[in-house]
Structure 1
């Protein structure tokens, strides 16, 4: 895709629905008794991958333009397929792997190259083995339960195995499971999962982010849920407006849940001219941005776009505590270092992040690494650079922000 630099003033953005919330809604709808209705779902490949997966475990799913209806299993999963393909979705892979472990029938689960080679899977495997589940060590995984409630000791650098185990153990047969977590990270995403526990009245206990207790034999009824807008997606237009000294309006309910919500306050600390209203975020011209050392772990998906921001700020912007970003759809630290270097960025790669100094970006031939967040971040960089750029393989955008190109008139 060819990108010609341009400035679009007064962007008026309606962010897409949350991918994380859509996939969690489908997961709990599978486990519920009766009908659940999910409104405003994200129209994404990951959504359809999760739908295929929950159908394989017994859910009856009907898809409409503005809603998804799911007849759940009341916790009685079935094995309609011998193998489930999670494709490019880490949430589908981890959540469904844990749910397969409730069954006494072996089922295999696989995924694309990023699932097989780059994603963190060992904590989930170790956790399931401590629940007496039969499971191998490499993808495709062949999993046979049923899990037996027990104590689990697990690394929490990646939040998804923790969320997966919290959900699955709540629907196991037996008593309670205790989960002891070391090196807990991505904490807002654990909060997102537990918000569903609160919404559905699922009992649990929690001490900070290092200890959880779940209680087996959980029963939930079907529910109705409107999926909220995605905070992870709003930072592309926000940062585009900031680095180009433009106005923008982001239409989003700031009281809604979002793992990346905390980043707004970080940008304000950097002197971003951002005004938060009840149902919108206003970005106004005139920001005199200052550099900052940023712990990005709580909004890890923002590392790529923050590395672009750093190129436009005087001094040195440091992004740290981001080692888990190496284990996403791509190695995001390496990807942004490589591609921004092509554009002339003054950037250094560290073990757990990036150091970026103010740079004058120029157009270049760039590669998306088949990663939606890398792709969108590079497009923002290219729109803000001198001279045209070409970005290879931009189709991954539809994973989380289907109308991104339309929003930027591309």
Structure 2
């Protein structure tokens, strides 16, 4: 168990942003399905990555680790049914990506995980789609008997991961499949998945995120890939600097990358880009207003913190799916910020946050890395000392956050 003491801090210096978790997990998926030995450099060394390595190993991949490089001997598009249960840990991406692939594998696959995976994370859209495609799927735990035999399915798209999983798995299926997506949300994450299909010249059709045809029978060769920095992770030091009027430089971010949380940087606008670095600068006070958080849904807790420092109320809308992440992020962040003195009100799909002076106190992460990192930003910009309980969950996306934040002047102590 890790608890943090956080005190108000001005930040200064350069910070190397950790690799993207979403790109790391997609790279491992395609390395599993490739022919030959792929090389993945600069991967994120997080619990989700290690759970994914275990999963692809059970499906037939051979995994070798050398320092910050992973070598994956793939299965040439023919994964085997696992001999043991696949433990997804706390990863919704593994649940949906490997769960989707299991529908294309002859035999039975069982996937389990922690309490949030077992009871809270939406998997019904994936189960319904696999059953429509002719596989047999049920919960809980998630059990899937493949292979698929049909060609068409419809599913709810409020969570993008089942759609992404079916697109990636369908690329290697025995025949084309058509997906009809109702209520498509989190579309930047679909764009991220489609960028991987384009990387391997995998053909597909898409109509307004509501209809896809993925043609199947793809064969890809082994590849070499360096994982870019994670904009979701970068948003925390970025916001901490903006709120404290600090100036820092963020390295390892590619502004041409399709990660959805990149949009948050443009929403705040306190930055410039030069020589492959993002420079966070002092700027005009943040004004408040209304933000549709669907394009960067993981940033909802952080935006709630930012709302406390705006000149006018900040309303966050179109974020209902945030209630079904590692925690109910709408309720979790509202409860913790109220402890700090925030005037914040829940809606079914978001929050209304009023300008508030925050004071340090004892807080809980709800064992959710996004809540923990958002509270860290709040603590760095509040009055007095903040105690954050159960902060070990931050390792999911930012394994060395203490060293990283301390290097730019953050007053953080692990106790």
**Which category of TM-score, normalised to the shorter sequence, fits these structures?**
over 0.9
Distance 1:11 1:354 in 2: 33
1:265-344 superposed matches below 5 A: 265-268=266-269, 273-344=270-341
Superposed CA offset, 1:274-303 (max 9, x none) = 212251111222432211200010100111
Match of 2:255 in 1: 254
Is the CA contact 1:255–1:278 (under 8 Å) kept in the aligned structure 2?
no
* Secondary structure, counterpart of 1:220 in structure 2: coil
Q: CA shift at 1:111, angstroms?
A: 1.0
Match 1:73 to one of 51, 70, 75? 75
Report what 1:184 is aligned to.
184
Deviation at 1:104, TM superposition (A): 2.0
Distance 2:385 2:137 in 1: 49
Partner of 2:264: 263
TM-superposed deviation, 1:157? 0.6
* Paired position in structure 2 for 1:38: 40
Bigger relative contact order (CA 8 A; separation at least 6): 2
| Structure 2: segments with no counterpart, 5+ residues | 407-411
CA deviations over 1:128-155 (Å, ceiling 9, x no partner): 001111111x221111011124111111
Q: Which residue of 2 aligns with 1:123?
A: 125
1:233 counterpart = 2:230: no
Q: 1:67 to 1:393 in 2, by over 3 A?
A: same
> SS in structure 2 opposite 1:166?
helix
User: What is aligned with 2:172?
Assistant: 171
Whole-Å Cα distance in 2 between the matches of residues 147 and 358 of structure 1? 53
Distance 1:182 1:277 in 2: 40
Q: Which moved more, 1:349-358 or 1:280-289?
A: 280-289
Q: Is the 8 A contact 1:31 1:74 kept in 2?
A: yes
8 Å Cα contact 1:2-1:388 kept in structure 2: no
Equivalent residue number for residue 63 of structure 2: 61
Residue 2 of structure 1 and its aligned partner are, at CA, apart by: 3.9
Q: Distance in 2 between matches of 1:34 and 1:41?
A: 19
Q: 2:204 maps to what in 1?
A: 204
1:110–1:140 CA contact under 8 A, matched in 2:
yes
Distance 1:82 1:248 in 2: 47
Superposition map of 1:46-57 within 5 A: 46-57=48-59
- Provide the alpha-carbon RMSD of the alignment: 1.2
Name the CA distance, whole Å, in 1 between partners of 2:338 and 2:111. 37
Aligned residues: 404
Residue aligning to 1:194: 194
